[in-house]
């Protein structure tokens, strides 16, 4: 296990237990130098971040990714051209880049899902995506249970999934709800209202409220999840964010001259929509959430919660999970193995309890 992937020192709760008396130090010892040591180690190792964008074609996913990371991750696909007939199958397409800022290296992997929700019959279109996510967890698990492990297990698990909601202005569609319900349990999902420039500010707010209401009605827990708030400051910060979810975003990768400054934006006949302007759209909020303030938190929750859930599930009942490509076929215990009736009965009971609570 990599000590860097989670907070380095697994310590128990904040309040000191009765057996560990707090001691007064009479002078400077230098313990806080450990923070610098941590930073140096982190800088040397670099970071990894894996993000997945899900949404129908034409919602501006590729443009959004380019705008987020201010680079040409991939060419934004013009709708209809160059694709030929619509692909009959949902294809996941990953691209990995290393970006560097101020000496810090970030290995960024973006996974796109072209073809999602584009068919006439979209039944079970989330299965390949779930399969992909679970496959990454599986890879990590396999590495983790090796006898001779690598020093740093490469982390390909999806840390964040951005879900693009089309700007209908009404409420979440059944496809959205189905997808979000399934995915929220496996990965951190951040829903965004795509192409928000087609909605006025008032329409945006109404749409947002309705979406929030939908999410609550269907018990969909998007990131930042309420149950993982650690303390008061976290709660306050996160409730502000939760109030604005889903963010209404606009993506753009062209620069225009506005008031003498060069800004990213979309130029239309009736004006220029500035991406970084908070009055125009909430792209800045999304970027801050994903990159500047909650990146480590996204990784931590993926590792400590979603991966652990997957692991528990996997080690208990291997046949319950959807299969993705390259699935290692672990045969469950063959029925011919003689088991005394006692344990198997208890096992059945545990199985039932487990399926109930799951």
Residue among 213, 308, 353, 355 that touches another protein (CB under 8 A): 308
Closer to another protein by CB, 202 or 338: give it: 338
For the window 70-89, what string marks contact with another protein as x by the rule CB under 8 A?
xxxx---------------x
Q: Is the distance from CB of 62 to CB of 76 less than 8 angstroms?
A: yes
Task: Identify which of residues 211 and 264 has a Cβ nearer to another protein in the complex.
Answer: 264
How far is the C-alpha of 98 from the C-alpha of 107, rounded, in Å? 4
320 binds another protein, rule: CB under 8 A = no
Residue 64 interacts with another protein (CB under 8 A): yes or no: no
Distance CA 113, CA 157 (A): 16
Residue 31 beta carbon to another protein: minimum distance, rounded to whole angstroms: 5
Question: With CB under 8 A, what is the number of residues at the site for another protein?
Answer: 110
Looking only at residues 14 through 33 of this chain, which bind another protein when binding is defined by CB under 8 A? 14, 16, 19-33
* Region 244-283 residues binding another protein, contact defined as CB under 8 A: 264
Say how far apart CA 280 and CA 271 lie, in whole Å.
11
96 binds another protein (CB under 8 A): yes
x/- string (CB under 8 A) for another protein, residues 210-249? --------------------xx------------------
Closest CA to 111 of 61, 38, 68: 61
Distance of CA 258 to the CA centre of its chain: 34
Q: Is the dihedral of CA 166, 291, 92, 78 positive or negative?
A: positive
> First-to-last CA distance in the chain?
26
With CB under 8 A as the contact rule, the residue among 218, 235, 244, 311 that binds another protein is 311
Three-state secondary-structure class, residue 112: strand
- Contact set for another protein, span 119-148 (CB under 8 A): 124-125, 127-128, 131-132, 142, 145-148
163 counts as binding another protein under rule CB under 8 A: no
Single out the residue of 155, 121, 150, 152 nearest to residue 136, CA to CA: 155
Build a one-symbol-per-residue string for 44-63: x at contacts with another protein by CB under 8 A, - elsewhere: x--x-x--------------
* Binding range to another protein, per CB under 8 A, among 159-167, 218-226, 265-273, 294-302: 294-302
| 54 beta partners | 163
Site for another protein (CB under 8 A): which residue of 58, 77, 97, 235? 97
**Does residue 303 contact residue 6 with C-beta atoms inside 8 Å?**
yes
Specify whether the CB–CB gap between 90 and 116 falls below 8 A: yes
């Amino acid at each position: 296990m990599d000590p860097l992937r989670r907070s380095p020192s697994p310590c128990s709760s904040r309040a000191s237990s009765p057996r560990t008396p707090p001691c007064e130090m009479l002078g400077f010892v230098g313990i806080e130098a450990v923070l610098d040591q941590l930073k140096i180690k982190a800088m040397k190792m670099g970071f990894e971040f894996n993000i997945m964008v899900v949404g129908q074609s034409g919602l501006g996913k590729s443009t959004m990714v380019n705008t987020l990371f201010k680079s040409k991750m991939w060419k934004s696909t013009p709708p209809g051209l160059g694709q030929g007939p619509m692909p009959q199958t949902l294809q996941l397409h990953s691209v990995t880049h290393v970006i560097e800022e101020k000496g810090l290296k970030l290995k960024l992997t973006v996974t796109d899902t072209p073809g999602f929700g584009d068919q006439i019959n979209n039944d079970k279109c989330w299965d390949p995506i779930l399969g992909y996510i679970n496959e990454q967890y599986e890879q990590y698990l396999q590495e983790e249970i090796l006898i001779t492990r690598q020093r740093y297990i490469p982390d390909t698990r999806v840390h964040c999934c951005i879900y693009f909601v089309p700007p209908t202005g009404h409420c979440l569609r059944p496809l959205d709800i189905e997808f979000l319900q399934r995915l929220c349990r496996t990965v951190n999902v951040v829903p965004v209202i795509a192409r928000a420039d087609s909605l006025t500010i008032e329409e945006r707010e109404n749409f947002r409220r309705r979406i929030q209401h939908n999410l609550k009605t269907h018990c969909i827990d998007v990131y930042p999840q309420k149950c993982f708030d650690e303390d008061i400051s976290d709660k306050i910060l996160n409730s502000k964010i939760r109030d604005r979810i889903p963010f209404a975003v606009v993506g753009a990768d062209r620069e225009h001259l506005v008031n003498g400054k060069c800004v990213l934006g979309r130029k239309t006949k009736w004006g220029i929509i500035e991406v970084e302007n908070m009055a125009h759209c909430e792209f800045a909020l999304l970027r801050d959430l994903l990159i500047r303030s909650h990146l480590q938190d996204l990784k931590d929750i993926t590792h400590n919660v979603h991966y652990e859930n997957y692991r528990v599930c996997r080690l208990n009942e291997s046949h319950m999970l959807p299969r993705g490509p390259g699935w290692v076929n672990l045969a469950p215990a063959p029925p011919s193995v003689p088991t005394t009736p006692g344990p198997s009965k208890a096992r059945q009971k545990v199985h039932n309890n487990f399926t109930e609570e799951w």
